[in-house]
Structure 1
């Protein structure tokens, strides 16, 4: 899918939901090299402030990339920047819903600006903003 920048409007949004599995966490650890025991070890996580294993924050944040690359703006767009605030942990078997909302468009520089949030059970776990270049 591709939405031409001329057709993007402030307020447009898209969302994507995925349940985080043990396999997702292990795969992300393998790809990123982040084998922090709070993600990988039940025993370690039980003794942490979280009481059980948590998913990597960037695993959930990666769903923004899926939205930008496949929904708004879609194929061909490129990340310029993203800031993130991690508000709550995401646990294995949580369903994360990533939501992006257009907040501003710069037609001259061909940039689209977004508010980005991830939610679990209606509570924000990640929020931030992104800037995307549209060719």
Structure 2
């Protein structure tokens, strides 16, 4: 069973607050600007992402977003909602099933599937959907804080 949660009031869940089945979602609208900015940030100027004339001649019949742009939306959920602030990526597997295009809304769902209390790690199922179609999935391992830092105030 999935237990959909919102961001913790402190900004992040600590290890003892997590349980298998906890999940969080975020939907991100893919725009021309996001693709352009991602190309600049990643230095990936593949014309299948940026040049409609080129992309129209490919198997995709038009421009598609970078696969890792959609994966970065998952990173946003991990870093800001579940587990949230203080969590650190250790590893990530990914499989891409369908392309994402300008104008698509990508819904990312992150679900806790395993906890390692000794290692302070959580294993997370990462899925991306456009409408109800699974466009990507994988598993992330993240380090999760054991306790909150006291405010410096």
Whether the TM-score (by the shorter chain) exceeds 0.5 is: yes
TM superposition shift of 1:36: 0.5
TM-score (ref. length: structure 1): 0.98
Which residue of structure 2 aligns with residue 118 of structure 1?
128
The match for 1:8 among 18, 28, 39 is 18
Q: Aligned partners of 1:52 and 1:19: how far apart in 2?
A: 18
Which residue of structure 1 aligns with residue 40 of structure 2?
30
CA RMSD of aligned residues (A): 0.7
Q: Aligned partners of 2:81 and 2:64: how far apart in 1?
A: 28
SS in 2 for 1:23: helix
Which residue of structure 1 aligns with residue 63 of structure 2?
53
TM-score (ref. length: structure 2): 0.87
SS in 1 for 2:79: helix
Return structure 1 stretches of 4+ with deviation > 6 angstroms: none
Which residue of structure 2 aligns with residue 65 of structure 1?
75
Q: Aligned partners of 2:127 and 2:44: how far apart in 1?
A: 23
TM superposition shift of 1:4: 1.5
The match for 1:130 among 140, 143, 150 is 140
Which residue of structure 1 aligns with residue 111 of structure 2?
101
Q: Aligned partners of 2:92 and 2:45: how far apart in 1?
A: 24
The match for 1:41 among 44, 48, 51 is 51
- Structure 2 residues without counterparts, runs of 5 or longer: 1-10, 146-153
Larger Cα Rg: Structure 1 or Structure 2? 2
Number of residues paired by the alignment?
A: 135
